[in-house]
Amino acid sequence: MSGARIEVVVESVRVHTLSSQHVVILKELGRGVSDRARYLPIWIGPWEANAIAMRLQGVEPERPLTHDLIVTMMRDLGVVVREVDIVDLEAETFIARIVLEEGGRLHEVDARPSDALALAVRTGAPVFADEGVLDRAGVRPEPEEEEDQASDERLSVFRDFVNSLDADGEPGQGSGPRS
């Protein structure tokens, strides 16, 4: 995809209580009060979910995790993570790129979104999603007071999904768009 890029933020990492699947929720930035932001749920593995959640919660491991090691190596080599881009969704798999800068040169590296996001939360790099990806997989939940039987089925499914999330669940596997 090659649409406009929209800045998003890693809002949370959750566990679906029924399936024990992990999901990272990205939230669209830059929306006005009356214009509800879209959310982009991306299914991820339990180890990556833990790596992202630990950093979001400010928890420091006793020994560096893989993503911490990568950030340390990049810093020591003079490489900076400039941004992370969620660029496409192919066959229910999200595609990401990490944009690195080294010596004034930019490098784009193909990555799983979960790994790219784990680096972004460690480095403070901005995260962007292609507008086409947000159009296809993002959801804009309706306020509860506006819900009615004519609500879009896709949003209803998302609400049911969000209501079944548990931030303290156990690791597991399942289906759905993954990184």
pLDDT tens digit string along 74-98? Answer: 999 999 999 999 999 999 899 999 9
pLDDT at 159 over 70: no
Give the model's pLDDT for residue 148: 46
Structural domains in the chain?
5-166 (3.10.690.10)
Mean per-residue pLDDT of the chain: 83
For residue 143, the model assigns a pLDDT of: 66
pLDDT at 175: 42
pLDDT given at position 16: 82
Classify the phi-psi angles of 78: left when phi > 0, otherwise alpha if psi is within -120 to 50, otherwise beta.
left
Q: How confident is the model over 152-165, as a mean pLDDT?
A: 55
Reference 176, options 114, 117, 95, 92; nearest CA is 92
pLDDT at 86: 98
What mean pLDDT do residues 165-179 have?
A: 47
Which of 144 and 41 is assigned the larger pLDDT? 41
Single pTM value for the model: 0.77
**Who has greater pLDDT, 94 or 162?**
94
